[in-house]
Every structure is written in structure tokens, then in C-alpha cells.
């Protein structure tokens, strides 16, 4: 592969720096706008190329020193080397450019990304890979484009303090377990009261031996509850199951404090403080007056449904993962919310069923997974909603689905990025569409 010099102009979706050489687009990870980089090409196509950074010939003034000693090797972060103000500018531009190119959303309709109050130590959920070799336990993420576990040096810079304390306990616990080679993944999640739940994915023949080891491990103060996921099923080992987070009083005008629970293994946002921004944006875009029927698709545990019920006539939530539906029902009862119902169903099937029953909703909220909701939004017009509020964690699938909605008579009115994932290129967003 050849070596070339590339002047980096900007950051690109996916995290790499972007520049041009010989009329061809070059994507180079771990570069910053303003760098002039010596690059070794790793992929070369007719219209673009990818390269690995060899050396910096000129260093950008947007660069900062990464706090993590394994940044650039671990696959968890892309942009620790870029000043946070620059990360925000780049994310805003990437998002606006992508929506314009792929969905013809005018850049004036896309607001600058809302910054995160915590740029490190914000993750409340993490999926840790485990590798046992020569009596040593490696805990971390995979190296990019590989299945090699990069061992974290005591902690993960973007994970919450309570997650890191639990990780250190886990390292010692697994080090002392003779069957540690059978554990290939550990999922950790925390409540905003710092209760940490741990789920071990175990492929060995005796989950009972791991359970016994966990029960007799004396130094587990940083772990609130533990489960083992095995082909025989999921075993609860110790501790209380439900995790929770608060929605403080007046997060929305007049809203009493709400506490929402979610089951072990169920989805929750990884950044609790930025989740409050999402809730505020959804409510602001909905602009409820108390008379509207609201449909919440991919509703999870009621993260949006329960706050929105405060200003709606009724909220109906649909979710395909049954434990989350049960969480939603429990959350409604716990918070005294009566004008709400939760149902277990695939979102697209729910829309078709509601349309067949001639149900009408003034406002529809959807928060699909990264793969988006193409099938769902294709059928949504029959529900005659005046407003659709689309919460997305992937700008590319958002743009695809916005095109479908535009072809069905909806118009994008505004879109707002929210930085849920500092030090990475990932972006959450909330987009408002209306019929007229």
C-alpha cells in the first residue's frame, strides 16, 4: 500500500477525518480538521480510499491530549483527540449535511447539537467483552474491525464511576473463578442511585458453579445484583432486579417527579442527563394541550409515554419486548398515571392493526432502534396524525425514513441533535414533522 500526504478538512460520519488527494476522497481515523497527515492507504476504490495514520506533518489546533492511555486501540471512542467544542461543530455539520444530501432537509431546519454536561464518565450502560488467557483476564471493547479484546487500564474513561468500580470488582472475581474462560461478556447497567446490575454471558457447562462463586465472593459491594445468561435460561444470583432513573420535578412544566424502572437486560438510554433533554424536546415538539391522543411506538418502559401523559388526553404505547411492556405498566401504576396503556406488539403490526380499526392519533412519537422504522413509517399515514416526532440514534436510517414520510405527505419542520455520546461520532436526534 502506498504512502501519501492528506490535508484533513473535516470529520466524517463514522468518525474518520476527511480529506482529498489526487481528486479522491480519503478517510483517515484519528485525525482532526487542520491536520496534515502522512497516511498509509488500507483500502482503495475508484472514488474513495481509506488510510491509517503514520505521522502528523502538521498538527491541528483542534487537537487535545486524550485522557485514555488506550485511545486509538480500543474500539470505544473515536474523538478523544479532538477538543469538545470542535466535536460539537463537526457533529452539527455532519448531521445537517447528511439530512440535506439524503433527505433534502434544509440546513436551516437543523439546529446545532445540544452539548453534554459531562463529556467523560457519562455511560450508565456498558457491554464488556471478556478474554481469559494464561491466567489473565482481559476486560474491554474489541479492537476496531476485530474480535481482539483490548484490556482496559483499570477503568473506561467514558463510563460512570460506579460502573468502573464494579468492573474492578469483576476483574478480581473472574480472576479467582476457575471456569472464567466460559464467560465471554458482561453487561453492566446502573440506576441513577448507583445501584449496578451485572449480567454474565456464560458458555460453559456449569452455570451453577459460577453462581456459587458469585454468592461466596465477599468483596462485591460495588455490585447490586447479578444474573447469569446461559443457554439453559437466565439465572438470578442475588440482589434486586429493577433499575431506575428519575425524571425530576418540572422537567416539563408542572410535571411531578417521576421514577421509571427498567428490567435487567431491557433498553435504557446510556446518558441519564441527556435523556432529560430528549424528553424536553419531545414534549416541546408535541406542544400538547390536554386534548390529544398520543401514540408512542417503540415505547420501551414508558420513557416518553409517562411524561407526555401529563399533557395528553391519553397515551398508547407499543413495544415489541415484553419485559419492557411490563415495566411500562408498573411505571404507570408506580407514578399514578392512569391515562395510559401499554401493549406488546411489533410497531409496524400495531400501526396496521390500529389503521384497520380506524383509530386516530393527533401525535405519534417513535424511537426505533438503530435500524430505523421503514416498515412502520410506510404505514403511518393511515392514522391521520397531525404531528410525528421521530427520535433517532442513527442519522442515516433517520434520513431514509424521513424520505418515506415526506413521500406520504409529511414535512420536516425542525430537527435537533443531542450529544448523548461525547468522544464518539454517534448522535441522538429529535425531528418534528407535520402534515401541513
- Residue showing cell 454468592: 215
pTM to 2 decimal places: 0.95
Residues 303 and 353 in one domain: yes
Residues 156 and 234 in one domain: yes
CATH classification at residue 18:
2.40.50.140
Residues 382 and 249 in one domain: yes
Q: Is residue 345 part of a domain?
A: yes
- Residue at a domain's end among 205, 221, 239: 239
Predicted local confidence at residue 22, as pLDDT:
84
Residues 249 and 357 in one domain: yes
In this structure, what C-alpha cell is assigned to residue 379? 404505514
Residues 255 and 393 in one domain: yes
Residue 228 near residue 235, CB atoms below 8 Å:
yes
Into how many domains does the chain fold?
A: 3
Which residue ranges in the chain fall short of pLDDT 70?
A: 218
Predicted local confidence at residue 358, as pLDDT:
95
CATH classification at residue 214:
2.40.50.1070
CATH classification at residue 377:
3.40.50.150
Q: Is residue 79 part of a domain?
A: no
Alpha-carbon span 436 to 433, nearest angstrom: 9
Residues 299 and 420 in one domain: yes
Q: Is residue 312 part of a domain?
A: yes
Residues with a catalytic annotation lie at: 393
- Residue at a domain's end among 221, 239, 257: 239
Q: Is residue 75 part of a domain?
A: no
Q: Is residue 230 part of a domain?
A: yes
- Residue at a domain's end among 213, 239, 265: 239
Find the domain containing 14 and state its range: 3-63
Predicted local confidence at residue 333, as pLDDT:
98
Residue pLDDT, tens place only, 131-155 = 998 889 999 999 988 999 999 998 9
For 186, 211, 214, 342, the CA distances from 199, given in Å and listed in that order, are 6, 11, 12, 26
Residues 420 and 286 in one domain: yes
Q: Is residue 264 part of a domain?
A: yes
Residues 235 and 250 in one domain: no
Alpha-carbon span 376 to 367, nearest angstrom: 11
Residues 249 and 133 in one domain: no
Residues 417 and 288 in one domain: yes
Residues 423 and 281 in one domain: yes
Residues 288 and 341 in one domain: yes
Q: Is residue 68 part of a domain?
A: no
Q: Is residue 83 part of a domain?
A: no
Amino acid at each position: 500500500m502506498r504512502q501519501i500526504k492528506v490535508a484533513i478538512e473535516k470529520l466524517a460520519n463514522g468518525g474518520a477525518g476527511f480529506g482529498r488527494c489526487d481528486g479522491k476522497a480519503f478517510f483517515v481515523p484519528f485525525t482532526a480538521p487542520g491536520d496534515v497527515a502522512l497516511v498509509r492507504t488500507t483500502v482503495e476504490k475508484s472514488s474513495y480510499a481509506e488510510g491509517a495514520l503514520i505521522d502528523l506533518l502538521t498538527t491541528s489546533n483542534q487537537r487535545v491530549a486524550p485522557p485514555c492511555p488506550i485511545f486509538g486501540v480500543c474500539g470505544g471512542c473515536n474523538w478523544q483527540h479532538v477538543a469538545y467544542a470542535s466535536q460539537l461543530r463537526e457533529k452539527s455539520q455532519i448531521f445537517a449535511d447528511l439530512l440535506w444530501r439524503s433527505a433534502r432537509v434544509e440546513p436551516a431546519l437543523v439546529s446545532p447539537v445540544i452539548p453534554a454536561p459531562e463529556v467523560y464518565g457519562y455511560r450508565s450502560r456498558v457491554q464488556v467483552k471478556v478474554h481469559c488467557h494464561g491466567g489473565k483476564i482481559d476486560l474491554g471493547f474489541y479492537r476496531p474491525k476485530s474480535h481482539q479484546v483490548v484490556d482496559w487500564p483499570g477503568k473506561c474513561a467514558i463510563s460512570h464511576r460506579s460502573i468502573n468500580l464494579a468492573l474492578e470488582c469483576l476483574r478480581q472475581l473472574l480472576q479467582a473463578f476457575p471456569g472464567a474462560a466460559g464467560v465471554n461478556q458482561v453487561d453492566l447497567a446502573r440506576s441513577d442511585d448507583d445501584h449496578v446490575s451485572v449480567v454474565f454471558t456464560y458458555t460453559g457447562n456449569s452455570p451453577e458453579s459460577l453462581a456459587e462463586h458469585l454468592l461466596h465472593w465477599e468483596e462485591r459491594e460495588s455490585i447490586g445484583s447479578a444474573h447469569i445468561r446461559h443457554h439453559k435460561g437466565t439465572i438470578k444470583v442475588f440482589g434486586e432486579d429493577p433499575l431506575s432513573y428519575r425524571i425530576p420535578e418540572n422537567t416539563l412544566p408542572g410535571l411531578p417527579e417521576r421514577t421509571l424502572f427498567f428490567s435487567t437486560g431491557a433498553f435504557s438510554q446510556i446518558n441519564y442527563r441527556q435523556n432529560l433533554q430528549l424528553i424536553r424536546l419531545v414534549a416541546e415538539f408535541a406542544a400538547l394541550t390536554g386534548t390529544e391522543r398520543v401514540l408512542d411506538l417503540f415505547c420501551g418502559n414508558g420513557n416518553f409515554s409517562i411524561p407526555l401523559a401529563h399533557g395528553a388526553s391519553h397515551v398508547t404505547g407499543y413495544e415489541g419486548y415484553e419485559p419492557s411492556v411490563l415495566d411500562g405498566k408498573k411505571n404507570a401504576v408506580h407514578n399514578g398515571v392512569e391515562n395510559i396503556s401499554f401493549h406488546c406488539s411489533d410497531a409496524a403490526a400495531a400501526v396496521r392493526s390500529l389503521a384497520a380499526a380506524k383509530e386516530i392519533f393527533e401525535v405519534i412519537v417513535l424511537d426505533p432502534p438503530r435500524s430505523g422504522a421503514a416498515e412502520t413509517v410506510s404505514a403511518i399515514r393511515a392514522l391521520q396524525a397531525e404531528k410525528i416526532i421521530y427520535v433517532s440514534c442513527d442519522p442515516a436510517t433517520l434520513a431514509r425514513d424521513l424520505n418515506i414520510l415526506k413521500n406520504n405527505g409529511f414535512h420536516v419542520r425542525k430537527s435537533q441533535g443531542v450529544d448523548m455520546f461525547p468522544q464518539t461520532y454517534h448522535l441522538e436526534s429529535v425531528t418534528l414533522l407535520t402534515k401541513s
